């Protein structure tokens, strides 16, 4: 029995893995990872896998990044944790100052949580409580987009709309209002992203006109609906939404947990619309993929609604044991240092262009409906019928075939259903992008069985075949 198998057997005897039907592992080997470096993960038998999904969208500057490593090592010798109620510490203060400085103007307060789902709950509770404190208790519902995803806790699921994650728990969820997504995948033929996104806003406008008296906030994933299949839309929708929320007196919550910190081509997605949300939820890449930490950023207007004498009970009495953990804050500060010192956003533009050119041939594949991209996120949608965009039945698990092929070739590609996507660390090289494109092309051929990728020149992947 090899080392990988030994660790796998020990794992399966005691662990229950997330987002997994554990019976799958009767046929699908679990891969135990011993170490990581840069874009690579290495198992116990020395095989390496290029982490094309940033280990669930969190890792931006590579595994075992020496600059982040050192900052955490320095911090652990000073202070590992302290209660953040009535106490504070240097890393959380410095991180908050930097986040206020770098986010859109008007976001002046940071409230910390442990993870993305918890951060969404913080924003929802703050908005709900704000309206109570402002003597408008009827404003207690939330408006969300179809096909959206905001996390796995109860309130976060309530504002989500991916049935795979929510259907089982419908009886537990809040009563929310769903509005059709501006997702440009479904735009009419010949229509551009901006026009389609503008047209789709009419449903949101009507919803707010009819329900604003009972609505606390609208929550959206700006520009990219991640778990919904990396569906994308134009920034004009966010601009129109900000204007409508102002007109109707409704909060705007931006869930940038997955898309913040450079993923969409700008540091924050809301910058592309030139707006400031009332709540900005950040996590994942905040610590460079090292430690759990989330920040719910909001305005002085919201903060002031809770600022009063204690007996009024207006305080926001929400807490997490590890709120503002110093080690996580240290990792976040090191991550922000890299953004500042390495001209990351500009460098990513060239990498994004390479992702586009390396996958451009797949637009002509007979079972690819669309190759779409926003910044450092690229998605390839496999379909049963290209002309009608008829999806494969989900039970066929076409993406699983891509996943298995990629593992054999030395890449971690974890499709969302039939959507193959690249969301790599920013330290990926152009040659490694070419390798991923090659692996994805092969995997799509296998997953669609009798269909074959269009021919590409022999020098398309210039001598780069070995994933090592």
- 149 annotated ligand binder: yes
- 96 annotated ligand binder: no
- 284 annotated ligand binder: yes
- 388 annotated ligand binder: no
Which residue is it, tokens 């991209």?
Answer: 373
Kindly list the distances between the CA atom of residue 272 and the CA atoms of 233, 263, 325, 423, in Å, as whole numbers in the listed order. 12, 12, 31, 19
Query: Which of 24, 65, 47, 114 is CA-nearest to residue 294?
Result: 114
Contact (CB, 8 A) for 34 and 4? no
In which element (H, E) is residue 51 found? strand 48-51
Query: Which of 264, 429, 266 is CA-nearest to residue 354?
Result: 429
| Gap between the terminal Cα atoms of the chain | 24
| C-alpha to C-alpha distance for 454 and 146, rounded to whole angstroms | 34
> What is the DSSP track for 216-275?
EEEEE-SSEETTTTSEE--THHHHHHHHHHHHHT-EEEEE-TTTTTTTTSSSSGGGGGT-
Using DSSP's 3-state secondary structure scheme, residue 62 falls into coil
**Residue 448 token pair:** 């669609």
Q: Is the dihedral of CA 181, 399, 371, 53 positive or negative?
A: positive
Q: Is the dihedral of CA 171, 173, 175, 179 positive or negative?
A: negative
- 56 annotated ligand binder: yes
Length of the chain: 468
- 134 annotated ligand binder: no
Using DSSP's 3-state secondary structure scheme, residue 278 falls into coil
Residues facing residue 256 across a β-bridge = none
Query: Which of 185, 250, 258 is CA-nearest to residue 219?
Result: 250
| C-alpha to C-alpha distance for 227 and 416, rounded to whole angstroms | 7
Contact (CB, 8 A) for 267 and 102? yes
| C-alpha to C-alpha distance for 312 and 307, rounded to whole angstroms | 10
- 394 annotated ligand binder: no
- 229 annotated ligand binder: no
- 319 annotated ligand binder: yes
| C-alpha to C-alpha distance for 16 and 44, rounded to whole angstroms | 21
- 129 annotated ligand binder: no
Torsion of CA 12, 328, 39, 254, to 10 degrees: 100
Annotated binding-site residues read: 56, 116-117, 149, 255, 284, 319-321, 414
Annotated binding-site residues for substrate read: 56, 149, 284, 319, 414
Annotated binding-site residues for pyridoxal 5'-phosphate read: 116-117, 255, 320-321
């Amino acid at each position: 029995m090899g080392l990988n198998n030994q660790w796998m057997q020990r794992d399966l005897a005691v662990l229950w893995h997330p987002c997994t039907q554990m019976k799958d592992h009767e046929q699908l080997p679990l891969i135990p990872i011993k170490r990581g470096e840069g874009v690579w993960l290495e198992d116990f038998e020395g095989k390496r896998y290029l982490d094309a999904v940033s280990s669930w969208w969190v890792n931006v500057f590579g595994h075992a990044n020496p600059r982040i490593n050192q900052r955490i090592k320095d911090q652990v010798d000073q202070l590992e944790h302290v209660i953040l109620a009535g106490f504070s510490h240097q890393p959380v203060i410095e991180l908050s100052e930097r986040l206020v400085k770098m986010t859109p103007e008007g976001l002046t307060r940071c409230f910390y949580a442990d993870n993305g789902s918890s951060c969404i709950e913080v924003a929802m509770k703050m908005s709900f409580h704000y309206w109570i404190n402002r003597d408008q208790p009827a404003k207690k519902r939330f408006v969300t987009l179809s096909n959206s995803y905001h996390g796995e806790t109860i309130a976060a699921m309530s504002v989500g709309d991916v049935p795979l994650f929510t259907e089982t728990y419908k009886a537990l969820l809040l009563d929310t209002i769903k509005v059709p997504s501006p997702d440009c995948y479904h735009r009419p033929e010949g229509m551009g992203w901006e026009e389609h996104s503008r047209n789709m806003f009419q449903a949101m406008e009507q919803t707010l006109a009819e329900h604003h008296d009972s609505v606390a906030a609208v929550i959206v994933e700006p520009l990219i609906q991640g778990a919904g299949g990396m569906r994308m839309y134009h920034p004009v929708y966010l601009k129109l939404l900000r204007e409508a929320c102002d007109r109707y007196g409704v909060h705007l919550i931006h869930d940038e947990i997955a898309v913040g910190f450079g993923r969409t081509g700008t540091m924050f997605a809301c910058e592309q619309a030139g707006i400031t949300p009332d709540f900005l939820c950040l996590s994942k890449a905040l610590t460079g993929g090292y430690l759990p930490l989330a920040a719910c950023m909001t305005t002085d207007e919201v903060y002031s609604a809770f600022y009063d004498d204690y007996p009024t009970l207006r305080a926001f009495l929400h807490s997490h044991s590890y709120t503002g953990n110093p080690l996580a804050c240290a990792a976040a500060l090191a991550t922000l240092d890299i953004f500042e010192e390495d001209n990351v956003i500009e460098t990513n533009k060239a990498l994004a262009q390479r992702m586009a050119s390396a996958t451009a041939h797949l637009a002509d594949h007979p079972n690819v409906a669309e190759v779409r991209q926003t910044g450092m996120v690229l998605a390839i949608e496999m379909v049963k019928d290209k002309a009608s965009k008829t999806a494969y039945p989900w039970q066929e698990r076409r993406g699983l075939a891509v996943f298995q092929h990629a593992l054999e070739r030395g890449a971690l590609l974890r499709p969302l259903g039939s959507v193959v996507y690249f969301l790599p660390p920013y330290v990926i090289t152009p040659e490694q992008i070419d390798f991923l494109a090659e692996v994805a092309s092969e995997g799509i051929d296998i997953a669609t069985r009798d269909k074959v990728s269009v021919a590409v020149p022999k020098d398309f992947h210039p001598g780069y075949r070995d994933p090592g």
